[in-house]
Structure formats: C-alpha cells, structure tokens
Structure 1
Amino acid sequence: MNKNTDVVVIGGGYAGVTAANRLAQRADATVTLINPRPDFVERIRLHQLVAGSNDAVVDYGEVLAGNIRLVVDSVATIDAAGRGVELTGGSTVGYDYLIYAVGSGSAEPDVPGAAEFAHPIATLEEARRLRPVVDAAPATAPVTVVGSGPTGIETAAELAEEGRAVTLVCGAVLGPYLHPRGRRAVARTLAELGVTVIEGPGARVAAVTRDAVRLDDGRELPSRVTVWAAGFSVPDLAARSGLTTDAVGRLLTDETLTSVDDPRIVAAGDAAAPAGAPFRMSCQAAGQLGSRAARTVLSRIAGERPAPLKVRFAGQCMSLGRRTGIFQFASMDDRANPLYLGGRPGAKLKEIVCRATVKQLVNEARRSGTRAERDKAPATAGQTA
C-alpha cells in the first residue's frame, strides 16, 4: 500500500473487534471503529449479568488496539456512492473500505402481549433492564423463560441455581442444535436444578400477560417475570442504506464476504449472509468472519483476489448454572455428533472458552503496536450501529 487507507468498521462486537485489530497491524491502514457503546460486551455472559454473577463488559482499552480510533455513536445510514457513513450525532466519517459488523439483537415478538410484558435479553441494555426486575421479584415468584436455544437454557439454569422457580418454554424441542445424547444430558441437569421444561406439541407461546404465559394448547403458566429469549434479528442499516440483503436483513455477500453491490463493503458476524447461506450466530463464527473480512479488505487494497471464506466449527458450549455445563462436539461443518462433555468439566470448559475469547482479542490488540490514546465521540442513545 502506497498511502494510508481509511477503513471504517461498524460494530464493536466479536467480529468487528477481530477485524479492526487485524487491520490495525498494518501501519499504512487507518482504522476507525464505530460502536454505540463505550465498552465491549461479552454477549455470551449476558445471562450471568441477569443473575448478578458477571457484568459482561470489558473496557475497549483492553481488547482494541491503541492505534484504532473508537467513535462512540450509531450509524444512521451508509452512503456507498460517497464512501461515507452518517452518524446519528450529525457528523460523517469517510472511508476507502467499510466492514459491516453490526451484529444482531432481539427479534420483535409477534406473540400478543410479549412486547409489552416479556423482557428480552439479547443486548447489554436489555439484560441490564431485566436484572432489577428479577431482583425485585420475591424469591418464590414464578419465572418463565421462553426460548429453546443456548440463551434460554443458560438463563433458566442460572436463575434456577439461585433458587428461583423457573419454567423453560421450548416450543418444539429443547436445544434443537444438540445431539439427542447431549439434549438428554441438558434435560437431566435442568431437572436437577428444578427447572420445569415444557416442549412438544402445544408448547408454543400464544400470549403473554402481566402475570401469565398462555400456550397454544390452552395451558396458562403463572409468571411474575417472563424472559424472552426466542430468536434474533439484525439491524436494518443495510436495507435502509439501499444495500442488498437476505430475507431477514443480513447484508448479502459473495464467498469472500464482499457485498454483492460494492467491492469496498465487506461484512462480518451475525449480520452477514455470505453467498446467501449465513452461519449459525455465535462468537465462534464471528471471530472467523471478522478475520476473513480483514483479509479480504487487505487483499483488495493490494489488488489481489480475496480467498473464499472457510468457517470451521468445534461444537456448542453452554453453562448450566455456575457448577455445571456442556460442550456439544460437532463436525467442522457444524453438525452435532454423539460426543459431549458435561458436568463440572463442561462448566470449566465453557468458562475457559469465555475467557479465551476475550484473551485472544487482548493478544491481537497488543500485537498491533502502539496503544495510543484514542478519540471518543459523545455516546448516543442508539442501541445498534
């Protein structure tokens, strides 16, 4: 590269920070990361925040290289033709290349009463709002968690371990990703914690009220606190900016993570739909996508053809309270197999994964060279970039 190239990364989650740190290792790349929060969120610990065992945030000074400019604001729109992003605070940041890593959040529930009476948990702000609600409820008050995936399972287990009376409503099946052997192990642990698991025919939520959850088979579950952990959605920034997206709003890219509309826009993380086939939302995929996005940008700057994306999975890990967990092993193409590690070893492995994920970001930040003071723009009220 003969001159400094300006690269803007939208989104400071696992994918965005990975991409920014990789790019910052090049002295001739000027990297700006735009994020609506002043801290990095350990999203895989949000259930711990709700239960009070972790605050789920890390200072960006630890995980982001010092030669990266951090702008705390939200992006209102992307001007692809003008190569700039307009911030909600009113300013504009120009770029030569853009990495779109806006992540995901809670899906808007289409169940009557859910938006009014249920509490989502997919973002830091949602988890922080939920924690005092849980704390204010009597210890014996019924708590209902809606959602069969890792977030629902982990939240239910964490609250039950505190002695809460928890019901987990799964819809069709508990832990759909899990192999049947792993699923049975999770079900046993939840039962030992006192969690009532509701799954199978008739176990979908039909309505939520202030003090109950009604299922589609007519059953009504008393619920002082209802936690909504069913599904995720992505911000509409790409669609709002006139870029091509898939049916749920993820930026549509080719196999190199390059936007099908613009070779100077590259996507990473939950909001990317590479070749129309997005990967399972996870920090496991996010880090690999962030790394590949950075390499794609560097290849294009050098005038080289970017290599196609390859993502390899190891499985899925979940904590089941602070003392138990499970690691469900999988093939590299993300198909669960009969092998799993449960019990206390499973819990230890999950904690190792959580710590190692942050440690990897810290190490990459240090490799990027100078830890100079970075500019910070005023925070905005926006929750998504």
Structure 2
Amino acid sequence: MTEGQIRAVVIGGGYAGVMAANRLCSTDGVAVTLVNPRAKFVERIRLHQLAIDNDDATEDYATVLNAGVRLVVDGAERIDAAARRVELTSGGSLEYDYLVYAVGSTGAVPDSVAGAREFAYPLSELEQAQRLQSRLADVPLSAPIVVVGGGLTGIEAASEFAEAGRSVTLVGAALAPSLSKPGRRSVAKRLRKLGVEVIEDSVAAVTADAVVLASGRALPSAATVWTAGFGVPDLAAASGLSTDALGRLLTDETLTSIDDQRIVGTGDAVSPSGLPFRMSCQASLPLGAQSANTVLSRIAGTEPAGISVPMTAQCISLGRGAGTLQLQHKDDTPVGIYIGGKAGAFIKEQVCRWTLKWMAGEAAKPGSYKSQKGPDRGPQLTEAAAVVSSR
C-alpha cells in the first residue's frame, strides 16, 4: 500500500468476497485486502463431491483473485466500527476506510435435536466435508447412511453417495420444497433409480448408530449427514452491528449497513431491508459486485445504486449422471419447466465451471462481470414494512 491510498478490507473469501475484492481493483488508488481463514478458495457447491473423493472442492486463489489483492490468511474476531479496525484471530489488526462484510454462511445443527451436534456430520464448510470424508472412508459401502434435509444440499449429497454404491435414506419434512411439482417429480424419480429411500418426517434424535424420527421409527445409520438449515457467523452481532434474527448484517438497498456507511455487506451474510436473497452462489456473485460498486460510489462521491439480483434457476446435481435445472421467475419463484437427466447434469457442471470463470474473468479485468437486471423489490419492501409496522 502506498501513502494516500484508500484502504478497503473484505472479510471472507467466498464467492461474494472474491467478486467484491476483484471489483474494487477496478479503480486506481484503492488498496484491497482480503481476509480469509483458508489459503485456498472453497467451491462450496462441490463439497458433497469432496466427501466421496471425486473432487477436492478447492481452487488456488491465484486463479480467481486479482493479483493486486493482498490475501491475509487469518480469521476476523471483531469489527471495531468506531476505530475502523478489524481485530484478527492471530492478535493483529487491520485498519480500513471501507469494509466489505462477506463472511458467508455455515451449517446449522440445532441444539433442539438430541445428539445432533454430537453425532451428525454437517456439510457446508470445507473442514466439515473433510471430516465426513474421513468418516466415510471407515464405513463399509453396505452400511446405511442417513442424510437429514430434503432441500437441495441434502438431495445432492444423497444422490452422490448413492451413485457411489452406498445405501442412503433421505429424511426431510418435504422433498425439494423450492422446486415446482414437475421439478420435484424429476428429482424423486432419479432418487428412486439410485435406490435412495425418501422419508418425509422430522428428526427427534441422533445417536452414534441411528436416527430417531418424530414418528418413533429408528433408522440405522453408520454416518448421519446433516444438511437441514444454514446459519451465519456471529461476527456482526458480536461487533455490535444490527442483524436480523439469523444474524445476517442488516443493510439498506445499497447493501450499506444501517449502522455505518463505511461498512457494506454482501453474500449469504447480508439482509438488505430485512429481505435476504436465497443463500446461493447465484446470488453471491452479483451481490459481491454490487457491494464493491457501492464502496466505489461512496469513494467517488456519487449515489450508490440499489440492488438488482435475478434468480433465474436452481441447478441440482443428482450424482454425476443426472441433474435437474429448475427454471425460475426472477423473483425466485419456480415455473413449471425444468431440464432433467443427462442434460441437467451437463448444465449443472457447466454452471460450476463458469462460476470460477466469472470470478477469474473479473480478476483479470475488474469491472467486466455483468449481471442481468433483477425484479423490482418495491412490492416486497412495502409488504415487509407493513408487517413490521403492525407488530
């Protein structure tokens, strides 16, 4: 960093954080530092593949991060907004002029389910996937596995494990509730073909070798994989910043913290106007670019634009041999159209690859990534305001 440069610190090196750091490099005079606890970028959308050894789910930051970004491999313990300083796990600190809060999301294993925290294996972070990978290496192929969670992560994990020859039961309150009826039928058909038993029920308890359902039925389980629900790190709340009930940073429609104009949120850990986008890399990439645009606008003394993120599809891998692409309205509600089978698998794989290419492209030429215009959030914001005022 040279004297007179504006210091921009990005906390979190996931999809949104990398995109934000790269975009910030589009303006001269900005020194960008990315703080992340891992030395490699984690492809979270491939963690279910890592668990069964068919992908390492990581990429060198040199591939996706602009060469001008300073990478600090460390954790962030606290944000001192008054002093404009980030206190690091190592004991050091970083001062900033602008901060991008991009800490992402984590797996949420509830305390309310007896034994879940002790015996279940979450699958939302690199270390969690590696722990599950080690466990599965010790579990015979014929031993039963239970995947808890009927959402997209649970479906992908169950499919991947079953395709590898494992005996899998998928438990969830509902199967693929975010999909259309035709999309759900496509997913259910593929799961049946793979031999996955789907049980729509809730989990009452987890033991070392079983999953107990609310109905009282006990399912044998040599490894219980927990994919039901997500949370976020508590850094914002612990730093005295305003958050929603889940702990996401509360911002306005420009992604600026409602407490401090020098702090901008992005990705899974942000709740703009109390109406967060679905946790996904599909939202994180444009949100990352938008958060950087907000910072650059404030540096330039111009008014930042409001967020506009289109949510056009849900891409689901069903093992390596099939997939389902659920088409969406831009407001993230499904339409009755999907692409399944081998075509769905091909599209899903291309999306995974293009996600890295989009970040690499922004790294090579900051400012080049373009996102389509999303839906008008006005009606949702009006409705949300009415709900809040009625309480």
TM-score (norm 2): 0.92
How far apart, in 2, do the equivalents of 1:230 and 1:285 lie? 20
- Cα shift at 1:103: 0.2
Q: How far apart are 1:4 and its partner, in Å?
A: 1.8
**Residue type matched to 1:156 in 2?**
A
Alignment match, 2:329: 331
User: Does residue 192 of structure 1 match 2:187?
Assistant: no
Alignment of 1:290-329 (within 5 A): 290-329=288-327
Determine if the alignment matches structure 1 residue 255 to structure 2 residue 253.
yes
Correspondence for 2:134: 132
Query: What one-letter code is carried by the residue in structure 1 that aligns with 2:129?
Result: A
Give the Cα–Cα distance (whole angstroms) in 2 for the partners of residues 324 and 135 of structure 1.
Answer: 25
Q: How many equivalent pairs are there?
A: 364
Q: What pairs up with 1:1-385 in 2 under 5 angstroms?
A: 3-109=4-110, 110-171=112-173, 173-199=174-200, 203-368=201-366
- Does the Cα contact within 8 Å between 2:10 and 2:17 map onto a contact in 1? yes
- The DSSP-based 3-state class of the residue aligned with 1:334 is coil
Quote the Cα distance in structure 2 between the aligned partners of 1:250 and 1:101. Answer: 10
Letter in 1 for 2:231: S
Name the CA distance, whole Å, in 1 between partners of 2:350 and 2:16: 19
Secondary structure in 1 aligned to 2:324?
strand
Task: Tell me how far apart the structure 1 counterparts of residues 217 and 52 of structure 2 sit (CA, whole Å).
Answer: 28
Q: Distance in 2 between matches of 1:254 and 1:108?
A: 29
**Cα deviations by residue, 1:142-184 (Å, 9 ceiling, x for unpaired):** 000001111100000000001100000012x101100011001
Alignment check: 8 A CA contact 2:147 2:157 kept? yes
* Contact 2:148–2:225 (8 Å) recurs in 1: yes
Rounded to whole Å, the distance in 1 between the matches of 2:192 and 2:115 is: 28
Q: Please give the alpha-carbon distance, in whole angstroms, between the structure 2 residues aligned to 1:364 and 1:341.
A: 29
1:59 Cα deviation after fit: 0.3
- Match of 2:51, SS state, is helix
Q: Structure 2 unaligned segments of length 5 or more: list them.
A: 368-391
Contact 2:13–2:102 (CA under 8 A) maintained in structure 1 = yes
The one-character-per-residue Cα deviations of 1:78-100 (angstroms, maximum 9, x if unpaired) are: 00000010001011100000000
> Which amino acid in structure 1 is aligned with residue 236 of structure 2?
A
Q: Look up the match of 2:380.
A: none
Partner SS state of residue 243, structure 1: coil
Task: Give CA-to-partner distance per residue, 1:123-154, whole Å, 9 cap, x none.
Answer: 00000010021121111100000011111000
Shift in Å, 1:3: 4.3
How far apart, CA to CA, are the structure 1 residues paired with 2:199 and 2:217? Answer: 11
Distance 1:103 1:238 in 2: 12
Identity of aligned residues (%): 58
Counterparts of 1:132 and 1:239, CA distance in 2:
33
Q: CA deviation at 1:368?
A: 4.4
Residue 108 of structure 1 and its aligned partner are, at CA, apart by 3.1
Shift of 1:366: 1.3
* Deviation (angstroms), 1:348: 0.2
| Unpaired segments ≥5 residues, structure 1 | 370-385
Q: After superposition, what is the alpha-carbon deviation per residue over 1:35-70, rounded to whole angstroms, capped at 9, x for unaligned?
A: 000000000000000111100000001100110000
Equivalent-residue separation in structure 2 for 1:186 and 1:46 (angstroms): 20
**Bigger relative CO (Cα 8 Å, ≥ 6 apart):** 1
Deviations 1:323-371 (A, max 9, x none): 10010000011110100000000000000000000011111111249xx
AA matched with 1:310: S
**1:2-33 CA distances to partner (integer Å, 9 max, x unpaired)?**
94211000000000000000001222111000
1:217-261 deviation digits (Å, cap 9, x = unpaired): 111111111001111100000000000000110000001000000
